[in-house]
Structure 1
Amino acid sequence: MNLCHLAPLTGVSVIALSTSLLAQEAQISQNPGITVLAPITLVTEGQESVEATGGVIVSREDLEALKPSDISDVFARDSAVSVSAGTGPAKRVHVFGIEQSNLAVTVDGVPQFGDNWHHAGSNVIDPAFLKRVDVDAGAAPADAGFGAGAGAVRYETLGARDLLTDGRSQGGRAGLSYGSNGRGLSASLAGYGVYDGFDWFAMLHSAQGDNYENGDGDEIAGSETGVTGALVKLGYEFEGHRVEMSYEHAVDDGDRPAKMNFDLPREEGAVYPLKVTRDSLSLRYTETAPTASWDPEALIYLNRNEYDRPDYIEGGTNGDMNMQAEGFGGVFKNRFQLGQGTITAGVDFSYADYTIDNYESGPIIGRDGLPTGEEYVRIHNLETAQIGTFVQGRFEFSNGIDLSTGLRLDHHRFTDWNGERFSDSGASVNGTLSYEFAPGYEIFAGASRTWLGYDIGEYGYLHARGSNTITEPDFEAASSENYKIGFNASQDNWTGNITFFDTRLKNLPNAYYSEETGLNNLDNIEEEYRSKGITLQGNYSWGSGRVGASITAAKLTADGQKILPEGGDVVPIGEVASIYVDQEFSQYNLKLGGNIELANKMSGDYLTAAGFEEPAGYGVVNAYAQWRPQQYENVVVQLNVDNLFDKTYYERSSYVANSERGGGIRPIYAPGRTVSLGVTVDF
């Protein structure tokens, strides 16, 4: 990374952090400044306002209204986030067209593995357990974690205190729903409570269904629902201290196509058993009565992702493999309260071990039907290790200026399948400044330069690599740059935001077959990936209801050339939008709402010249009704109608149809009209 580029941001960070530390010696405010217009404030209570800088917040209110069945539903109201493909392990989450493996992704603070294979999804997240999701798009704070190349995604899950009603020390929740078009039966059961310093939460969830049909009535092979999960949290508070242990288990199990993110006509309807599992165990310590100088948090975690498919092809590889990623790590940090805001400082570390078994042995046969001279390597092992230190300051000044700025220093080590070791260290810097020039009106600008280490990404590529595959000696650490500038407004019951963003990813790894060199070696991608565009958000509330919209237009390029829609780490999204509305009718204990997902048509010679079709635009309407019987306020009845007008379409970040590659490739279409009826009972 160019040190000249780091200098300006580093200077701002050091000056801001040093100034605030000196000010603390003179005075520590017991009540940090609170801005009047919280919806647009850049910094509030020590955290950035995500939406105020072009990011996404999926609140608990949103989740309660949407009752999402999968990760696509979670982000259905936010144009900045797109989710590809059909169901289960095929789904990949993209922010501004950049796959979330290039973001720092956590669940309850526990870092998650990236996507393991370019035909598989990002990770297995069961929406039934979610309480909130925050998405930092672009520049992310230093305490977001290692690898925040294009931002951060923070998933938060439910706990006992989230569901307990006033005055109760224990309770439970049961849910049951049934949906048409393959949605099938979904059931959940939770129990929770508090007693004498202890609190507990346990929840089980299962959803089982069949293949769905698209809007034309065509069955999508391998799209059946098969999700099972469990979440357990145990907490204990004593003398100002809190310890919490959490365990999450999520499984997607079903028959899937060989390549989950597109359809191969030559394998019409062919599906194979696939089981994808995610386990996470964590232990967290916090203070329940922190002071201005002592507000610590310590987290230790173990996690494991497993991809298990039987050996269904004899003498070759087409996705029949077993992949495992196991890791452990920790985060130790403390937040210092200052007169102008807070400073969070700490260290984090992680170790991960990756294994892939392709079941194969013997000589590799090339595309011409002749031996290549290589031998299959049945089992590949590789590992990574990281340790970092960080400091992030968040300040609110009385003159209307807010500042968030921070630094990270990381050391990263990568050991490949041949035992070759690569290690290096790097610095990351971020800064976001806002100015409220009039009551309710604010401008902001932000930038970051992030060192990503040896981002191996999709280690699953090794399933089809032979004995002479190596990591190139000049393999380098990856990095990113983020810039954004925008304007926020908030008056009475409406808010609005416009953000211009520019994200650049450099030296990402590449291990795909090269027609030019004939090699499969791990090396850096020479091209610079870039996502540049604009996103707008706005909402209006009238007490009993609200309406909102978001629009995102992004141009995705590689060294200035437009990206092809191949469903990878960086995909074109064009112009997309989402409009939503919610309305309560208190006299009937009824709530109605819905949203419209919109995407423009994508066209151009760059598509057709590469054999791709021009993706059509689409508009998809989803609606819901939620009713609480007056005599039974602990009961909620929910009706959802997704894709109300039975539109035939595939989600924007999906793989687009191509008539030339592999004998023809077709996209995975989204479900047609799907009706679900469910009931939730609190007891």
Structure 2
Amino acid sequence: MTLRRVMPLAGVSLMAMSTALMAQDLQISQIPGTITLDPITLIANGQENVEATGGVVVSSEDIERMQPADVSELFARDSAITVSGGAGPSKRIHVFGMEQSNLAVTVDGVPQGVTSWHHTGSNVIDPAFLKSVEVEAGAAAADAGFGAAAGAVRYETVGARDLLDDGRTQGGRVGLSYGSNGRGVSADLAGYGVYEGFDWFAMIHTADGDDYENGDGYTLPGTAPATQGALAKVGYEFEGHRVELAYEYSKDDDDRVIKMNMDLGRSTDTYPLEVSRNTFSLKYTEVAPTDLWDPEAMLYVSRDEYWRPNYATVESGRPINGDMDLESNVFGGLMQNTFTLGAGTVTAGVDFNSTDYQIDNYGDLAPGLRNMETQQIGTFIQGRFAFENGIDLSTGLRVDQSKFTDWNNRRLTDQGISVNGTASYEFAPGFEVFAGASNTWLGYDVGEYGLLHARDDAFVTDPDFEPATAENVKVGLNAAQDNWTGNLTFFDTRLDGLGEYDVAAGMLTNADEYRSKGVTLQGSYSWGSGRIGASYTKADVTQDGEDVLPNGGTVMPIGDMATLYVDQELPQYNLTVGGTLEWAGTLDGDYLTEAGFEDHSSYTVLNAYAEWRPERFDNVVVHFTVDNLLDETYYERSSYVQYSPRDVYPLYAPGRTATLGLTVDF
């Protein structure tokens, strides 16, 4: 990153923040009809707004109604997000075609790290534990965390105070469901309570089923659900302070195909695979903050493990595939304080992260066990302001130092500056235009470090290996009038210098620039007992100016995507019904066929649900969902498509799947 490109935006950021601080006696403007959401990108009522600039919010109400079994179903109503198909561990989300490793992904504030191998995701996110999700697309705030190249994804899990009814001090929840088409049995059990200053929450969840069939009745091997998870939290509040200790565990353990995001040669061979994650976090917050003292401090440790034994293939006397044993251990923390001023807030703090990677080469391929390490420490400041003249502003910067020690004990160190700014202007009641930009320094990106398991001892780090950078630009219109809202966002995201394991060159090097540009449109209308919403996204995804291929990598082509959803309450029957329509346009071109790939066919998928709360048992909820109601044969965008030279076939999504579930609170 050059000073010529950074300093102008940094100067604007500092000038804007200084002006806002001097104007702290101004009152925050109120925008009639604006829907106020949790902080993220556009300022509305003094806070940033995710959906107002093309992002996504999946609320607790959405999760409760849809009862998603995996992240494909979790994001089914949002065209900006695509999910690769198959079993749980293979599912990775892409935002505007950018893979999740390029976003700052956190669960309750704990960073989730990069994807270890593009054929299988590294993190198993179980929707059973989720309270809400926010996806910030594009220009991220400085306090979103280190490495927010293309935005941020924030998963928030449930806790005791989310589930306890007013006046109760303890409770529990039991959930049980059974689904067709391999969905099988899913069960969860939770207990929670409060006593004086203490609160606690504990929950376990498990799912077990069979391989599913696509719409044509073809069975996809290695796709059976096999998740296990646990979540525990203990909090204590005293004299205005709160301390919370949390533990999160997730595991997927079953026989899987060797490359889970493709159907390789129509093979039915499966092998044991275990993907697991353990996380401990300790968090401190203030229960009764003041204008000048609203702190947050957190420490966390986590371990991700990927274990695939008992598999090897040899070609010409040399192993070409084999066992895989990956592990990453993380220690990090955060300290920040938010200052409330007359015109808004300023958040300032420091964060750090140290990650050790272990990669065990398969078979007798030298050099055996490899180790890498990355370290990061950064300071940040982010201001969010709203003024009486209709102008709202979010701007900030962060300074980071990044260290990388590779498997040959080569050490690299560098520093960089990241800056961001988003401004909006309310030109008429409920209508505002906005523009945002960011220039983000990403440090040394290790990419898909699992690829090292197949490299010999001659593989090295490029002598000219450099830190990666990202640029984001967004402009658009946001509107809110009475019971409807709308948003139009044009986006342009560039990622430069990401880590790439170049087999031909025999080194970890910097990849050419990835870019995603396009438009996303959102709208919703509510009428008290119901709502309807829709979204449309078109993204042109390229590398070094050329259209990217659907090869499961860092970025994926998505083309045109759209969703439509409806929810309707029927109070006389204590019933809520609804549905979601997912559409993807055809993705074709010479660039696909010349490389051996087939065109992506268009598809339309209809999902429906019903939720019934018996009148005499207000603690009981019955759920019924039918996913892919019309039994469409399709594969989700950001999945592989047929690749004839290597006998690769698409990994199709499930055909019609009906699920009946029961939840009881006690």
1:311 Cα offset (Å): 3.1
In the alignment, structure 1 residue 402 sits paired with structure 2 residue 387: no
Superposition pairs of residues 36-51 of structure 1, within 5 angstroms: 36-39=32-35, 42-44=42-44, 47-51=47-51
Kept in 1, the 8 Å contact 2:34–2:430? The answer is: no
Question: 1:308, 1:47 → 2: CA distance?
Answer: 43
Secondary structure at the residue paired with 2:148? coil
In the alignment, structure 1 residue 429 sits paired with structure 2 residue 419: yes
Secondary structure at the residue paired with 1:139? coil
Kept in 2, the 8 Å contact 1:40–1:52? The answer is: no
Partner of 2:346: 343
Partner of 1:286: 285
1:46 Cα offset (Å): 5.9
Question: 2:278, 2:592 → 1: CA distance?
Answer: 40
Question: 1:503, 1:380 → 2: CA distance?
Answer: 33
Kept in 2, the 8 Å contact 1:173–1:189? The answer is: yes
Secondary structure at the residue paired with 2:634? coil
In the alignment, structure 1 residue 328 sits paired with structure 2 residue 313: no
Secondary structure at the residue paired with 2:63? helix
Counterpart of 2:327, as a letter, is Q
Question: 2:322, 2:631 → 1: CA distance?
Answer: 32
Aligned residues: 658
Question: 1:62, 1:652 → 2: CA distance?
Answer: 22
Partner of 1:83: 83
Note the alpha carbon deviations across 1:525-571, whole angstroms, 9 max, x for none: 1x211100000000000000000000000000112211111111100
Superposition pairs of residues 13-412 of structure 1, within 5 angstroms: 13-24=13-24, 27=25, 33-39=29-35, 42-44=42-44, 47-265=47-265, 268-313=267-312, 316-361=319-364, 376-412=366-402
Partner of 1:522: 508
Counterpart of 1:523, as a letter, is T
Kept in 1, the 8 Å contact 2:31–2:430? The answer is: no
1:357 Cα offset (Å): 1.1
Secondary structure at the residue paired with 1:255? strand
Question: 1:503, 1:631 → 2: CA distance?
Answer: 53
Partner of 2:469: 479
Compute the RMSD of aligned alpha carbons.
Answer: 1.3
Kept in 1, the 8 Å contact 2:263–2:648? The answer is: yes
1:310 Cα offset (Å): 0.7
Question: 1:646, 1:416 → 2: CA distance?
Answer: 48
Counterpart of 2:423, as a letter, is L
Partner of 2:440: 450
Counterpart of 1:405, as a letter, is T
Which of 594, 599, 603 is matched with 1:614 structurally? 599
Partner of 1:567: 552
1:245 Cα offset (Å): 0.6
Note the alpha carbon deviations across 1:267-305, whole angstroms, 9 max, x for none: 610110000001111000001111111100000000110
1:118 Cα offset (Å): 1.5
Note the alpha carbon deviations across 1:315-366, whole angstroms, 9 max, x for none: 525252110000110000000001100000000000000001134225xxxx
Note the alpha carbon deviations across 1:495-552, whole angstroms, 9 max, x for none: 00000000001011110423xxxx3310111x21110000000000000000000000
Counterpart of 1:38, as a letter, is T
Counterpart of 1:324, as a letter, is E
Kept in 2, the 8 Å contact 1:258–1:318? The answer is: no
User: Which shifted more, 303-312 or 181-190?
Assistant: 303-312
Secondary structure at the residue paired with 1:489? strand
CA gap of 1:241–1:44, structure 2 versus 1, over 3 A, is farther
Kept in 1, the 8 Å contact 2:273–2:306? The answer is: yes
Report percent identity of matched pairs: 63
Kept in 2, the 8 Å contact 1:497–1:537? The answer is: yes
Counterpart of 1:595, as a letter, is T
CA gap of 1:319–1:184, structure 2 versus 1, over 3 A, is farther
Secondary structure at the residue paired with 2:572? helix
Counterpart of 2:458, as a letter, is N
CA gap of 1:203–1:34, structure 2 versus 1, over 3 A, is farther
Counterpart of 1:626, as a letter, is E
Note the alpha carbon deviations across 1:567-612, whole angstroms, 9 max, x for none: 1110000000010000000110000001011000111111110110
Which of 551, 570, 576 is matched with 2:561 structurally? 576
1:19 Cα offset (Å): 2.4
Secondary structure at the residue paired with 2:309? coil
In the alignment, structure 1 residue 420 sits paired with structure 2 residue 410: yes
Kept in 2, the 8 Å contact 1:100–1:122? The answer is: no
Counterpart of 1:274, as a letter, is L
In the alignment, structure 1 residue 493 sits paired with structure 2 residue 483: yes
Counterpart of 1:640, as a letter, is T
Kept in 2, the 8 Å contact 1:173–1:191? The answer is: yes
User: Which shifted more, 114-123 or 54-63?
Assistant: 114-123
Note the alpha carbon deviations across 1:85-118, whole angstroms, 9 max, x for none: 2111111110000001001010000011110012
Structure in which a larger fraction of residues adopt strand: 2
Any stretches of 5+ residues in structure 2 without a counterpart?
none
Kept in 2, the 8 Å contact 1:333–1:344? The answer is: yes
Note the alpha carbon deviations across 1:623-668, whole angstroms, 9 max, x for none: 001000111011000000000010000001101110013xx11111
Any stretches of 5+ residues in structure 1 without a counterpart?
363-375
Question: 1:547, 1:486 → 2: CA distance?
Answer: 22
Counterpart of 1:521, as a letter, is M
